[in-house]
Chain A
Amino acid sequence: MNHIKRTRTCLCLLAAACLLLASVPSYGQTNSFSTVSIGVQSKMVKIYGAGGIKGLEAYQSGFLISEQGHILTVWSYVLDTDYITAVLNDGRKFQAKLVGADPRLEIAILKVETDRVDFFAPKTAIDLEAGDRVLAFSNLYGVATGDEPASVLHGIVSAKTPLDARRGAFKTTYRGPVLILDAMTNNPGAAGGALTNRDGKLVGILGKELRNALTNTWLNYAIPMSELNQAIDDIMAGKTRPRSVDETAKRPERPHSLHKLGILLVPDLLTKTPPFVDRVRSNSAAAKKGLKADDLILFVNDRMTDSCKTLKNELSLIDQIDSVQLIIQRGQELLEMELNLTDGT
């Protein structure tokens, strides 16, 4: 009988030890991020577009945010073309469509015609604090091509702080919270990459190349997903998408027009002529608010205006009694202005 008891005691001890060991991660499990990397790589996208001239790389990074092939990336000159190429982690190459962009956050969403892809759900992204370990995934320097995996850097969150940075001589539009990293993420092509925690859970998007406004040093930072989710929803819902020119939507009886606002655009010679301002009539509503020649009108009432035609169409859908919100690009600077016909003569 004693023999049976001893055996039972030994078995119970063994079972308890196994339970305990199973609950503590072994060193081997924590010794490499290789498994985490493999899990994230399937969501990474290599993006190729405009650029390629000196100092302007024609590539950047992005990651999938829906099963239907929506890709989150940064809004940049790389997307300033009708031929944006997105290469998924498995090497499949697609011509991507620009769904929309948020110029204040400098993010854009692309779409490729595929489904059942692995993706990060933006809403499930987590927040991190200073001191937390991070992994940064991107195609920096365009090192990877085809089905080659993105580069991974490791580091920690050094600080969580409002962004105070500049690009060239101009301060950035986004001044919200960012995660400052000790990983060297500020490299050509890295913008749009994914920042994850040590378990591969999405935290934020790697920002564009910027310098600290005070120290002039390159900034390694990411924008937390919590700052982007509303904008992502808006873009996915089509709120920033230009309305089709021949849309049969009801138009106001007395709509706005470029002429009434005092704006003369460059001659509309191309299929999609960028809506650059050629001249501004003096004492007009536009002149009163400081619109100038060579300004590029990016958004009208938060809708993208990627051509002279879409700009004219957007204005034709706004009643004269309402104001017109413009987001314009002047050089490297992003400006917002509100035009009212009552301001001009």
Chain B
Amino acid sequence: MNRVIRWFLFPLILVTVAALAAPLAAQEIPAVVAKAEQTRIAAIAKATTSAVSVFANGGRGGGSGVVITPDGYALTNFHVVKPAGSAMKCSMADNRLYDAVIVGIDPVGDVAMIKLLGRDDFPCATLADSDKVQVGDWCFAIGNPFLLATDFQPTVTYGIVSGVHRYQYPAGTLLEYADCIQTDASINPGNSGGPLFNANGDLIGINGRGSFEKRGRVNVGVGYAISINQIKHFMGYLRSGRIVDHATLGATVATDENGRVIVSNILESSDAYRRGLRYGDEVISFGNRRISTVNGFKNVLGIFPRGWRVPLEYRRDTETFETLVRLSGVHSPEQLLAKIQRPPQQGPKPNPDKPKEKPEDEKQPPRRQPPRPQAGPAPKMPAAVAKYFKARRGYTNYYFNLLNRDRIWNQFQAETDCTGMDGKWTLSGTIPNRGDVEIILDTNEIRADFPQGQVKVDLTKDFDTQLAPAGSGGLLVALQVWKKLLTEGPTQFGDVHYLGTAPVVNQEGVFDVLIGTRNVVETRFMFDSQTGKMIGLEMYPDLSVDPCEISLSDYRDVQGRSLPHLLKVRYGNNDFAQIKLTNYALPAASTDKKNP
């Protein structure tokens, strides 16, 4: 027995003494507290390097932001950059002031992307998975409250996560905060656009709003951050230099007396209607989230850009249906432009490009406001910024749209250069178990032999009325548009712009999307940013009908260029055909290649 006591007690005493000595050495601070303190200091030190204080040129206010890539792309709020215009100054904790240029804006989500200039090794934040954030987690905001960072050093405010998946109704007609993170870390005017970090110093959101109401415009312990997962969905769109819109399902929902979320209204022209959703159906899940409240439904709707396809599960009586629904835009391009217009200011000349109509919310009689310091006319854009800016109606900065369009096209062209190969293309192959196929894409017409018969398209007429073969949604027209993009490139094809990134059915991840308009049809071309290959296209004869979808794969060499040999064609809810191509007969490339 004595031996047992000796064997056990001796080491126990040794370990206990060692453990107790540690806090004593740290001036009676328990080791667990000292460790937590060091972890917190390290997290703040790491996070502070990526924080940005935004100052609008000409004394037009400012806010906060955060750098997310080494080449200087940064996030902030739309309402921070709105008064600043297209160029601004940004300070960082390294005591340097950088020029920055606007890239893209999401006015409804209150997000803006800017690019800091002058370095390609900016310290940048690590993006966390904000769906893993839990109520009660520690978090901290870094920013420029009350524009205090005139010494370039940002302010850190610590708190906890008070709520997740919060829905905040639009303020006025825009600025809807869906699926946001609520925190009691102090968020004050000037913190807008700044980062909210988790306890590890990883980015979980962009601060931008608070519940103030009768307490005045200072923090009352209720701040909201746009979740970084929402912004990840919009990232490609923001990089496109466009004014990005949010989405609608084309249906509204309400809670019934049993607490079920049911469809209370639906547009017959919506994709949701075409996919089978009807008035009175119960929404079970949306965007892979279980839906139990109207807020929950709006949260999902708020985190996806227009044009994305989102899974929807609904129940009618006892039967459950699962489908993918393509989300449409909330606003028309003109409505969106009108809503983000700044009210005319004294000084600068009116911009002839701006629409003359005032947005609806500005037609109200003006409310009495306290006098504000008058900002002067917008200063001239610095030369260092001007070379990164290109104005075009409908875009915040067309420079970045061209940059991405050319990036995608050049990468694609590296393996699939068909420039100047206009002329007759003959595609031969089979539809397994159904028969042979031959498609001749000629100069003025398309002739095709399918197992079900011969079809033709007259290329001198409007494409939207020639959607042969039947049931394909316009396969031949889609192939013609595809051929024209390949042979002419985006500069000769017509209007081709970069949409951003979007998911593709049955594919992991998101893909770059170019949109081109030819004749009267609009086509979306999807590219894999890793391989550079075009992995599919969707041809819309009209934006209110289903497109002809073609998945392109099995790329093989054809006379020195890589072309797809498997075309999966889908229209609406049905697979039309899988075409295995065995041969491409192509004309020789003309010598006067037109490079984009």
Contacts and interface: CB of A to CB of B under 8 A. Distances in A.
A13 interface: yes
A184 B184 contact: yes
A187 B293 contact: no
B274 to A, nearest CB: 30
B219 A184 contact: yes
Interface in A33-47: 33-38, 41
A22 interface: no
B136 A146 contact: no
B163 A151 contact: yes
Interface in A67-89: none
A188 to B, nearest CB: 7
27 contacts: A12-B8, A12-B10, A13-B15, A20-B12, A27-B35, A31-B138, A32-B137, A34-B134, A36-B136, A37-B136, A38-B135, A91-B293, A92-B259, A140-B221, A141-B222, A143-B163, A143-B222, A146-B292, A148-B295, A152-B160, A154-B184, A183-B184, A183-B221, A184-B221, A187-B215, A187-B221, A188-B214
A17 interface: yes
Nearest to A35: B136
Nearest to B185: A154
B135 A26 contact: no
B211 A187 contact: yes
7 tightest A-B CB contacts, nearest first = A184-B221, A33-B136, A146-B293, A37-B136, A34-B134, A34-B136, A16-B12
B70 interface: no
A185 interface: yes
Contact of B159 (A20, A24, A34, A154): A154
A140 B221 CA distance: 10
Interface in A124-158: 135, 140-141, 143-149, 151-154
B211 A143 contact: yes
A9 interface: yes
B478 interface: no
Nearest to B292: A147
Contacts of A149: 135, 163
A249 interface: no
B220 interface: yes
Contacts, number: 135
B86 interface: no
Contacts of B213: 141, 188
A218 interface: yes
Interface in A7-33: 8-9, 12-13, 15-17, 19-20, 24-27, 30-33
Contacts of B214: 55, 188
Interface of B: 7-8, 10-12, 14-16, 19, 31-32, 35-36, 39, 134-138, 159-163, 165-166, 168, 182, 184, 199, 211, 213-215, 219-222, 255, 259, 292-296
Nearest to A25: B32
A288 interface: no
Interface centre among A17, A24, A35, A93 (most CB of B within 10 A): A17
Interface centre among B15, B39, B135, B137 (most CB of A within 10 A): B135
B101 to A, nearest CB: 36
Given A93-B259, A184-B221, A37 B211 contact: no
Interface centre among B12, B16, B134, B160 (most CB of A within 10 A): B160
B32 A151 contact: no
Interface of A: 8-9, 12-13, 15-17, 19-20, 24-27, 30-38, 41, 55, 91-93, 135, 140-141, 143-149, 151-154, 183-188, 218
Given A37-B136, A152-B135, 4 more contacts: A34-B136, A140-B222, A146-B296, A153-B162
A27 B215 contact: no
A32 B8 CA distance: 35
A265 to B, nearest CB: 35
A143 B165 CA distance: 11
Given A144-B163, A148-B165, A184 B138 contact: no
Contacts of A144: 163, 166
Contacts of A147: 292-293
A27 B162 contact: no
A3 to B, nearest CB: 15
Interface centre among B159, B161, B219 (most CB of A within 10 A): B161
B135 A34 contact: yes
Contacts of B7: 8-9, 12
B22 to A, nearest CB: 10
Contact of A27 (B36, B211, B296): B36
A16 B166 contact: no
Contact of A32 (B12, B32, B199): B199
A30 B199 contact: no
Nearest to A32: B137
Contacts of A16: 8, 11-12, 14-16
Contacts of B219: 184
A20 B135 contact: no
Contact of A187 (B11, B161, B222, B294): B222
Given A33-B136, A34-B136, A153-B162, A146 B184 contact: no
A155 to B, nearest CB: 8
Contacts of A9: 7, 11
Contacts of A20: 12, 15-16, 19
Contacts of A152: 135-136, 160-163, 184
B11 A24 contact: no
A37 B135 contact: yes
Interface centre among B162, B213, B295 (most CB of A within 10 A): B162
A91 B292 contact: yes
